[in-house]
Structure 1
Amino acid sequence: MTLSELHRSGRLAASYPLVRGMLADLTDRELTRAGHILARLDPDEVLDAHPSTPELRVAVTGHRTLGPLIPPLTAELARHGLLMRPHLSDFDAHVFDLGDPESALYAAEPGLVLWVLDPDMVFDEVPVPWTAADVERVLDAKVAMVRDLAAAFDRRADATLVLNTLPLPRRFTAQLTDHRSRARLGAAWRAAGARLLTLGDEIPSVITLDLDPLLAEGIPAEDARLGRYARTGLSPALLARYAREVGHLARHLTGRTKKALVCDLDGTLWGGVLGDDGPEGIELGEGLRGEAFTAFQKVIKQLGSHGVLLAVASKNDLEPVEKTMRDHPGMALHPDDFVRVTANWRPKPDNLTALAQALNIGVDSFVFVDDSAYECGLVRHALPEVTVVQLNEEPARHIERLLHDGWFDTRELNAEDHARPSRYREELDRQTFLASFDSIADYLCELGVWVRLAPVIEPEIPRAAQLTLRTNQFNTTVQRYRAPQVRAAADGPGTRVFGIHSGDRFGDNGMVGVIFTRAEGDTVHVDNFVLSCRVFSRGIETACLSAVLADAKAGGARAVEAVYRPGPKNAGVRDFYPDHGFTLADEENGVLTFRHSLADIAARPAHIRFIESLEERR
């Protein structure tokens, strides 16, 4: 059944979980058409039918008409399984919206605010006739205004503010008949763009989208007729691509960033079939097609350097695959770049499931890349949670196809991101080590787990925020925190943020968890407990909770209360608090509040060693 048929039959809200799959492979234009249908949905109807659907409140404001942005934006969020609740500001209301804390924009309590900037906000204030110097003066004033309003927004709201660079249409530059004036205007315009792009370094809540790469793909900046008669600032095509970029960001802000890229080999990382053609016969490194495959490998290697876990799932024999990866001069990727190379003749969905279990992450963290329509269809059918990128026979298009959807986009990288692949390789070593023991207890004793629980300090704040954004399974309230919110909790009166660091005989895992607490009277509240899936089932969560309870008791508290809020993937921690001596104190709309009297605090697991500083790790 199509989207239109579901809408006409009145079953679209009830069928909302199916929408994601319906939108998966649509073009920008098709997505916009679908968005017109989805924008008519009442979000409350969807939530009544599917209460666990992730919802994001999005406010849109700017200088020109922005109604045409809502349909593609609605569709892009739906494509990632999200439900958008939009707030659209009035025409040219952006200064009032962001400057007045009593405005309707603030009242909407959005998690994401899109301040769509366009070139007319500058040229509408340039006198006629004008020179490049006139534009430069207005441009400087506008950038200063943007900076001041963004800083005010950052102080007032717990939301992400998205800005964008300004296109410079030829209809303006062509009005300067001498090339030196055009060059001066272009230089001033690009300098203003650079200031907008770096605002995020100064104002934590700001992210600036660079529109130049989108324009370089041939997308028109504006539509002359719509700009004149409908008073739009950016073309429908550019708004659609803008919406796609925002969709990537929304996916990250709601904890849906992908973690692992799993690649086929034959026809994907090299041309030809290794089993038939041999290492000397595959297309790789030499010739135009061979160079294209090597270029594709370099892009994958680059993604791996940003913390993306790389793996192989190929129908091949393992020995020739490993030899080719190790010895072929055209290979940009080598065995050490991958957390696992799987080459066998089992169905690929089985191999993906086994890999997810070995890495202790969900299959919905995977992006699977293959040139075979059969294999892609099989994975889509067996594992619909996996994102499938189907390549074609033209290797020059592989890079474009892989990067089109920004599956691994994140706000910023930190040291933990760069170390992530090596951490997961160590985890696979732990799995091998486990197989040599008769019992889990013996394994844990020999593993030598150490834990450090300490208040989060300033350099650790980005990592603490990232853990709340990326962790879905052991996240007791599925609440997402930005760095400013973590900082406020760490520095606030009565609030504390504890970072959990761990490691063992195989290496240092880094910061793997975070606990948010708040003291009110004689009660300490655990507002959230987050732990990376990499360190499940080692007793770390028990040890840290016991430490928090003991700390609360030592500080004079008479009880500790903790909340469990259900999310799409955290059902496994529903009984975490009851299993550790808490009793149910309240239940409202599925949210459970548990209470611990502190009379009997469970001992920390004997196999875990607590340390005071990271220097004590060994």
Structure 2
Amino acid sequence: MTDATTPAEPQSAPLDRIMELQRAGRLASDFPVITALLRELDPAQLRLAGQLLARVDPADIRAAHPSTPVLNVALTGHGTLNTLVPALTAELARHGLLLCPVVSDYNGYVFDLSEPDSRLFAARPDLVVCVLDPMMVFDDIATPWDVPAVAAALAEKERLIEWLVTRFEATSGATLVLNTLPLPRRLAAQLVDHRSRAALGAAWRRTNARLLELPERHPSTVVIDLDPLLAEGIPAEDVRLSTYAKVHLSPELFGRFARELGHLARHLTGRTKKVLAVDLDNTMWGGVLGDDGMAGIQVADSYRGEAFRAFQRVVRQLGSQGVLLTAISKNDIEPVREVLRDHPDMTVREGDFVRVTANWLPKPDNLRETAAVLNLDPDSFVFVDDSPYECGLMRYELPQVSTVQVDAEPALHVERLLADGWFDVRELTTEDRSRPELYRGESARSDFLQEFESTADYLRELRIEVRLTRAEVADIQRVSQITLRTNQFNMTTLRLQPADVQALLADPAALVLTVRARDRFGENGMVGAIFVRREGADAHIENFLLSCRVFSRGIEQACLAGLLEHLRGQGCESVLGAHRATAKNAGVRDLYSRFGFERYRDDGAETTYRHPLRDVLAVPEHVRLLFDVPEKETAL
């Protein structure tokens, strides 16, 4: 029995299991199990689980699970930040990521971000989080104060932050995360007249607007807007913690902030989802099509229909930003197509989907088939369904699929879908927005293939054209994105942020090539990248990546043929290329050996191959290669 004066600790079956593992000393050994359990916890339970996980040495988890992706994160700011560590530990673990944190001293952000010999830079972090809070402004203001005094202090902080971001960007290739400044009522309410309060709010929001504009000038910086999080009813601060411990953001806000950081971390480690697979009956529309018919389903102009229309609008909005939409439904296909094509109130139409599957097979089987057709791994999918049975079956059969169960209240569908930021990226590219159309082109190619008795005849008639060009400044975002999102044809899984790509473009010993392709069905866009470094008489292919959309068409051979010929012309005597094995790139482990490279060395983690450049690889007959690399005053 719980004492009435003592808050009860949140309990749940998953949380109980985590606590059992903690008592047994098995948090490190059972880390993969814990990541699944964390996904079932509510925010309060997650905070408690994070406190348990934060006590575990990350080295112990790495020792037990060497393949676990690690993210080195440095935390700095004006206030005390230790309370952010458990929240961030739990959020990263939910995505199968291991946090290795470095926490700065109190109010150490100026030194941390401006001095290359600071402890922050020494940690060589992947991600740097500089937490901004309202007291960094008010601690510098004398009492009594007025709005002009606050406005002056805000302007000074703006100048300081811009300078720090510039200094940091010039020294580090890491991603820097800032946040907007919340304005607690206890500060604004110290002004007794409403006109002054309004003026304070306006000045405060102007500063936040300028913070949000920083990424336009500093592409390695991400600014997380706290206003949408606070609008959910989260308190901005706990006054006691702020006063006594200098923790100037509330534990609840730190928790939501950590969740946003988790979404960003998932993107930075190449784990952003690509496909939204939706059920139809009672998910995209109300009712069961087979029972109610097209006229009987609820889509709009009814009490529940409005909620389903709102959900469809969000699904279509995601599709417009490069998320691939697929439907997986237990229905007959023709009635489904009729609804998607002809129902007057449907917002999402058949053309918005890259694939519509309606049959009576188990949904995991249909998702596997869809993944195979799109040439994507099932872990690229988010599956949404209202049926507990279907969601449970999907979790059991395909645990790598992120399953979102919506319920009988359609007004909550949108919130459930968007809660975990499955598709969040740092920045959208032109290729992102055109991705659904490109994948629909893949369906046309698949249909075209059925007309031929041999793959060779099909490839010959496909009329493939490949363009290899030196990457330019305008390509930086897309090239970075390719390294972050490509997993199957990714030889060394070298993940590069935009600043890393920019540095390579300026490096005279480096060559960054973009791969673009087209065929009789149109443009494929930028589908790959090659990173090369000159070291004496040797050239090292540091990474070679291709989109899964263009596998098995001879494009990889054409790229290597053009590259080897270019490197021989540049005076290189040999070319080295490596394969670093992961759970997803086994399909390309023999790439170099298939194309004339000799096995050179193997250290257990990475196998290196060498090409002597005596007999250069030929371009496949069915591929037209355009190698457009202007000569520059560089080694390559």
What TM bracket, shorter-length normalisation? Answer: over 0.9
Residue 120 of structure 1, aligned match among 135, 138, 145:
135
1:515 aligns with 2:513: no
Q: Tell me the distance in 2 between the aligned counterparts of 1:318 and 1:256.
A: 32
With over 3 angstroms needed to count, the CA separation of the structure-2 counterparts of 1:329 and 1:64, relative to structure 1, is same
Q: Can you list the C-alpha shifts for 1:359-418, whole angstroms capped at 9, x where unaligned?
A: 000100000000000000000000000000000100111111111111000000111011
Q: Tell me the distance in 2 between the aligned counterparts of 1:428 and 1:555.
A: 41
1:485 aligns with 2:500: yes
2:266 matched to which residue of 1?
A: 251
Residue 75 of structure 2, aligned match among 36, 40, 60:
60
The 5 A counterparts of 1:37-76 are 37-76=52-91
1:379 aligns with 2:406: no
Deviation at 1:602, TM superposition (A): 2.1
Residue 312 of structure 2 aligns with an amino acid whose one-letter code is Q
Contact 2:102 2:123 in 1 (8 A): yes
Deviation at 1:91, TM superposition (A): 1.2
Contact 2:619 2:625 in 1 (8 A): no
Does 27-36 or 74-83 show the bigger shift? 27-36
1:421 aligns with 2:436: yes
Q: Tell me the distance in 1 between the aligned counterparts of 2:476 and 2:108.
A: 34
Residue 527 of structure 2 aligns with an amino acid whose one-letter code is V
Residue 374 of structure 2, aligned match among 330, 353, 359:
359
1:455 matched to which residue of 2?
A: 470
1:606 aligns with 2:626: no
The 5 A counterparts of 1:431-510 are 431-510=446-525
SS, match of residue 278 in structure 1: helix
5+ long unaligned stretches in structure 1: none
Q: Tell me the distance in 1 between the aligned counterparts of 2:238 and 2:577.
A: 54
Q: Tell me the distance in 2 between the aligned counterparts of 1:104 and 1:557.
A: 40
Q: Can you list the C-alpha shifts for 1:268-294, whole angstroms capped at 9, x where unaligned?
A: 001111100111111111112101101
2:328 matched to which residue of 1?
A: 313
Residue 297 of structure 2, aligned match among 250, 261, 282:
282
1:341 aligns with 2:356: yes
Residue 207 of structure 1 aligns with an amino acid whose one-letter code is V
Deviation at 1:541, TM superposition (A): 0.7
Q: Tell me the distance in 2 between the aligned counterparts of 1:10 and 1:464.
A: 43
Percentage of identical aligned residues: 55
Q: Can you list the C-alpha shifts for 1:36-61, whole angstroms capped at 9, x where unaligned?
A: 11112222222222221111000111
1:525 aligns with 2:540: yes
SS, match of residue 67 in structure 1: coil
Q: Tell me the distance in 1 between the aligned counterparts of 2:448 and 2:63.
A: 47
Contact 1:260 1:308 in 2 (8 A): yes
Q: Tell me the distance in 1 between the aligned counterparts of 2:32 and 2:147.
A: 52
Deviation at 1:326, TM superposition (A): 1.2
SS, match of residue 287 in structure 1: coil
Contact 2:177 2:221 in 1 (8 A): yes
Deviation at 1:586, TM superposition (A): 2.3
Contact 1:215 1:221 in 2 (8 A): yes
The 5 A counterparts of 1:200-215 are 200-215=215-230
SS, match of residue 136 in structure 2: helix
1:566 aligns with 2:581: yes
SS, match of residue 295 in structure 2: coil
1:164 matched to which residue of 2?
A: 179
Q: Tell me the distance in 1 between the aligned counterparts of 2:41 and 2:525.
A: 40
Contact 1:154 1:204 in 2 (8 A): no
Q: Tell me the distance in 2 between the aligned counterparts of 1:4 and 1:513.
A: 45
Deviation at 1:613, TM superposition (A): 7.2
Deviation at 1:469, TM superposition (A): 0.7
1:90 matched to which residue of 2?
A: 105
1:555 matched to which residue of 2?
A: 570
Deviation at 1:589, TM superposition (A): 4.5
Q: Tell me the distance in 2 between the aligned counterparts of 1:77 and 1:68.
A: 15
Q: Tell me the distance in 2 between the aligned counterparts of 1:48 and 1:601.
A: 43
Q: Can you list the C-alpha shifts for 1:461-482, whole angstroms capped at 9, x where unaligned?
A: 2111110010011111111111
Q: Tell me the distance in 1 between the aligned counterparts of 2:131 and 2:604.
A: 36
Residue 220 of structure 1 aligns with an amino acid whose one-letter code is P
SS, match of residue 151 in structure 1: helix
TM-score of the aligned structures, taking structure 2 as reference length = 0.95
Runs of 4+ in 1 over 4 A off after TM superposition: none
- Report the count of equivalent residues: 614
2:252 matched to which residue of 1?
A: 237
Q: Tell me the distance in 1 between the aligned counterparts of 2:66 and 2:442.
A: 35
Q: Tell me the distance in 1 between the aligned counterparts of 2:405 and 2:160.
A: 45
SS, match of residue 346 in structure 1: coil
Does 352-361 or 319-328 show the bigger shift? 319-328
Q: Tell me the distance in 1 between the aligned counterparts of 2:192 and 2:53.
A: 47
Deviation at 1:487, TM superposition (A): 1.9
Q: Tell me the distance in 2 between the aligned counterparts of 1:157 and 1:568.
A: 30
Residue 111 of structure 2 aligns with an amino acid whose one-letter code is F
Q: Tell me the distance in 1 between the aligned counterparts of 2:591 and 2:352.
A: 36
1:225 matched to which residue of 2?
A: 240
Q: Tell me the distance in 1 between the aligned counterparts of 2:386 and 2:203.
A: 45
TM-score of the aligned structures, taking structure 1 as reference length = 0.98
1:184 aligns with 2:199: yes
Q: Can you list the C-alpha shifts for 1:401-460, whole angstroms capped at 9, x where unaligned?
A: 111111000000111011000000001111111122222112111111110011012222
Q: Can you list the C-alpha shifts for 1:202-221, whole angstroms capped at 9, x where unaligned?
A: 11211000000000110000
Contact 1:165 1:209 in 2 (8 A): yes
Contact 2:560 2:617 in 1 (8 A): no
Contact 1:285 1:329 in 2 (8 A): no
Contact 1:122 1:138 in 2 (8 A): yes
2:36 matched to which residue of 1?
A: 21
1:299 aligns with 2:341: no
Deviation at 1:224, TM superposition (A): 1.1
Residue 322 of structure 2 aligns with an amino acid whose one-letter code is G
SS, match of residue 601 in structure 1: coil
2:282 matched to which residue of 1?
A: 267
Does 470-479 or 2-11 show the bigger shift? 2-11
Does 351-360 or 19-28 show the bigger shift? 19-28
Does 294-303 or 22-31 show the bigger shift? 22-31
